[in-house]
Amino acid sequence: MGLGVLLYLLFCINYLLLDRQGSAVLAGGLQLVRELELKEEKDAPFLPEIPPSGSPFPLYPSLAPSPLSSFINISTPKLSGQCTLNFTSVDSLITTTATDCFAAFAPFLANVICCPQLDATLTILIGQSSLQTGVLSLDPVHANHCLSDIQQLLSSRGSELNLKSICAMHLSNLTEGSCPIKDVNSFESVVDSSRVLEACQKVGPVNECCSRVCQNAIEEAARKVAARGNGLTGSGGIEDMSEKEKVVSCRRIVVRWLSRRLEPGPAKQMLRQISNCNVNGVCPLVFPDTGKVAKECAQKIENHSICCNAIESYVSHLQKQSFITNLQALDCASSLGMKLQKMNVTANVFALCGVSLKDFSLQVSGCLLPSMPSDATLDPVTGVSFTCDLNDNIAAPWPSSIQASTSSCNKCIQMNSFVLRLLQYQSRNL
Ligand SMILES: *[C@@H]1O[C@H](CO)[C@@H](O)[C@H](O)[C@H]1NC(C)=O
Ligand SMILES: *[C@@H]1O[C@H](CO)[C@@H](O)[C@H](O)[C@H]1NC(C)=O
Ligand SMILES: *[C@@H]1O[C@H](CO)[C@@H](O)[C@H](O)[C@H]1NC(C)=O
Ligand SMILES: *[C@@H]1O[C@H](CO)[C@@H](O)[C@H](O)[C@H]1NC(C)=O
Ligand SMILES: *[C@@H]1O[C@H](CO)[C@@H](O)[C@H](O)[C@H]1NC(C)=O
């Protein structure tokens, strides 16, 4: 009996990777996608031999076996009974979040899919519950119970248990923080609410990142609310600091109010689109010291293969960190390129060594996520799957001095030229 359970767990952790060709229409332009399936190997005739100290997971070095025991079965969550949020009103949202943050994948999808989805779910939960309470926040005691209940609920549907630390969940994600206004009536008396609603009820996937129509409306409303109850304040340093915090807190109140006015589906769409704009603006990877690469590749490169080995070894460290989007990969390539240039690497070593954009993402058959990633899906038979950008074999661009600054305007140009390059790539390969 005991052996049976052990064998089951070992089968569970032995993932099979399958590629499947598919297509989808995304962000107004045609994009080919590859669906990546992470599959449970059920019929493995033999157990894999697990090295005594090393990791048994060639693809996910830090996979822990224990959470996988909840691969299929939904368990009953232990709820506190003290949380006033109405979980049933956003039931499907919670299921989606549990899949986006599924067990061992959560850390690798945290930045782009899991945490933005969790964030949206918390916001919508409060927005929807304000329909009953008239308040856009929870007090700290209830917030504490609710945070714990949400984690219970999500993990009972398969999510990673430790989302609190992976996604930096704080009380402030549910409370009013330092925002002076929390009830709906006061909010609507201060803010031009129809204007905010107008700006945010139809957020375009590409346009919003450039025009920031909804984001600017949220920002303006947050500043208005934050200034309420201020009276006359000076502009001292400490004052400015708490002023900034206030605006951050009030921004949360504004998006909760929006989630009250919109249905959960459109609210989620809006929140994720906005978060995509922010996610794509920064490279989330941590860059180790580039000294070794610089040593082999700086100035006149003596031996190409030694330099490229150093690059490959360096990039292989980046590949263990996270799934990233195609636009993030552009950011990452540019960050690494500039770091190397600062250390006197003058040759385009990306071209020299054949580094492509997908080399910056987690290497499970080279999956680069689309810039507007969709949610992961869970099928009890085939497992968790999510969509990858098939056009990921694009050479990593070596930064030139012209594109030094990355303002939001540059970002738009970058995004458009990226789409253009994708199309060129496609027509070449069709
Ligand atoms: C899931 O539930 C089914 C039926 O209740 C049971 O047979 C199976 O062993 C459970 N699987 C796990 C992984 O707990
Ligand atoms: C919670 O939401 C559901 C679905 O929207 C609704 O039917 C139910 O009445 C709500 N429960 C409470 C206590 O408000
Ligand atoms: C909670 O709030 C913090 C601080 O603003 C933010 O960084 C984090 O992403 C939020 N997490 C969730 C799950 O909402
Ligand atoms: C480069 O270095 C490698 C390994 O040290 C060596 O085998 C190879 O011959 C060198 N190539 C050239 C062109 O010097
Ligand atoms: C780069 O090269 C310059 C001139 O050859 C030298 O002065 C400088 O120390 C080098 N910088 C690094 C980081 O190696």
Neighbour-count burial of 343, counting CB atoms closer than 10 A to its CB (0-12 exposed, 13-18 middle, 19+ buried)? middle
Instruction: Give per-residue pLDDT as tens, 375-404.
Output: 988 877 667 787 887 666 788 999 985 554
- What is the DSSP code string of 363-408? TTTT--B-SSPPPPEEETTTEEEEEEES---PBPPPP-GGG----H
Q: 238 pLDDT band (50/70/90 cuts)?
A: low
pLDDT for 198 equals 96
Tell me: pLDDT of 105 over 70: yes
What's the confidence (pLDDT) of residue 217? 97
**Closest residue CA from atom 7 of ligand 3:** 168
Residue appearing with tokens 């009972």: 156
Best of 119, 179, 259 for a ligand 3 pocket test (most atoms within 8 Å of beta carbon): 119
Which residues are near ligand 4 (CB < 6 Å)?
303, 305-306
Give the whole-number percent of the chain exceeding pLDDT 90.
56
CA distance 44 to 12: 10
Q: Which atom of ligand 4 approaches the CA of 303 most closely?
A: 1
CA-to-CA dists, residue 383 to 190, 230, 380, 430, angstroms: 48, 52, 6, 31
Which pLDDT tens digit goes with each residue over 254-267? 999 999 999 999 99
Enter the DSSP assignment of 281: T
Any idea which of 3-12, 101-110, 125-134, 344-353 has the lowest mean pLDDT?
A: 3-12
Domain positions in the chain are 89-279, 291-429
Q: Are 159 and 98 in contact (CB under 8 A)?
A: yes
> Per the structure block, which two tokens stand in for 241?
């600091």
Residues with CB under 6 A from ligand 1: 69, 73
Residue 188 pLDDT greater than 70, yes or no: yes
On the question of pLDDT at 181 being above 90, the answer is yes
- Interval 280-299: pLDDT, tens: 999 999 999 999 999 999 98
Q: Separation of 302 CA from ligand 4 center, angstroms? A: 9
Q: What is the pLDDT of residue 294?
A: 94
CA of 397 to the centre of ligand 4 (A): 27
Q: What is the model's pLDDT at position 74?
A: 67
One DSSP character per residue, 40-97 reads E----SSPPPPPSSS-S-SS-TT--SGGGGGSSPPPPP---S-----GGGGHHHHHHH
Q: Cβ of 265: how many Cβ atoms within 10 Å?
A: 12
Q: End-to-end CA distance of the chain, in Å?
A: 54
Question: To which residue do tokens 């290497």 refer?
Answer: 363
Ligand nearest to the CA of residue 302, numbered in listed order: 4
Ligand 1, pocket-test mutation among 13, 66, 70, 73, most atoms within 8 A of CB = 73
Residue 310 pLDDT: 96
Q: What is the pLDDT of residue 205?
A: 76
Question: What's the confidence (pLDDT) of residue 411?
Answer: 53
Nearest partner of 275 among 310, 311, 325, 336, judged by Cα: 325
Beta bridge partners of 24: 31
Mutate to test the pocket of ligand 2, among 83, 85, 89, 94 (most ligand atoms within 8 A of CB): 89
Lowest mean pLDDT across 204-218, 229-243, 363-377: 229-243
**Residue 365 has what pLDDT?**
58
Q: Which tens digit of pLDDT belongs to each residue from 5-59?
A: 222 222 222 222 222 322 222 222 222 333 333 333 333 222 222 222 222 222 2
Q: Using the atom order of ligand 3, give the atom closest to the CA of residue 170.
A: 1
- pLDDT number for residue 349: 96
Q: Which ligand is nearest to the CA of 294?
A: 5
Mean pLDDT of 219-242: 73
Q: Which atom of ligand 1 is nearest to the CA of 73?
A: 1
Averaged pLDDT, 72-96: 87
Helix (H) or strand (E) holding 16: strand 15-26
Q: Is the pLDDT of residue 338 over 80?
A: yes
pLDDT greater at residue 408 or residue 89: 89
Q: What is the pLDDT of residue 300?
A: 84
pLDDT: is 87 or 238 the higher one? 87
158 vs 381, residue with greater confidence: 158
The residue nearest atom 5 of ligand 1, judged by CA position, is 73
Residue 312's pLDDT band (cuts 50, 70, 90) = very high
pLDDT at 168 over 50: yes
The amino acid at 224: K
pLDDT of residue 377: 86
Task: Name which residue leads in pLDDT, 172 or 302.
Answer: 172
The segment with the largest mean pLDDT, out of 68-72, 321-325, 360-364, is: 321-325
Q: Which segment, 44-48, 66-70, 173-177, 393-397, is predicted with the most confidence on average?
A: 173-177
Q: Report the pLDDT averaged over residues 200-213.
A: 88
Given this model, what pLDDT does residue 324 score?
92
| Residue of 352, 346, 363 whose CA lies nearest to 303 | 352
Best mutation site among 124, 150, 170 for ligand 3 pocket (most ligand atoms within 8 Å of CB): 170
Looking at mean pLDDT, say which of 157-161, 185-189, 392-396 comes out highest: 185-189
pLDDT the model gives residue 207: 85
**Lookup: tokens for 237:** 């340093």
The enclosing H or E element of 35 equals: strand 29-40
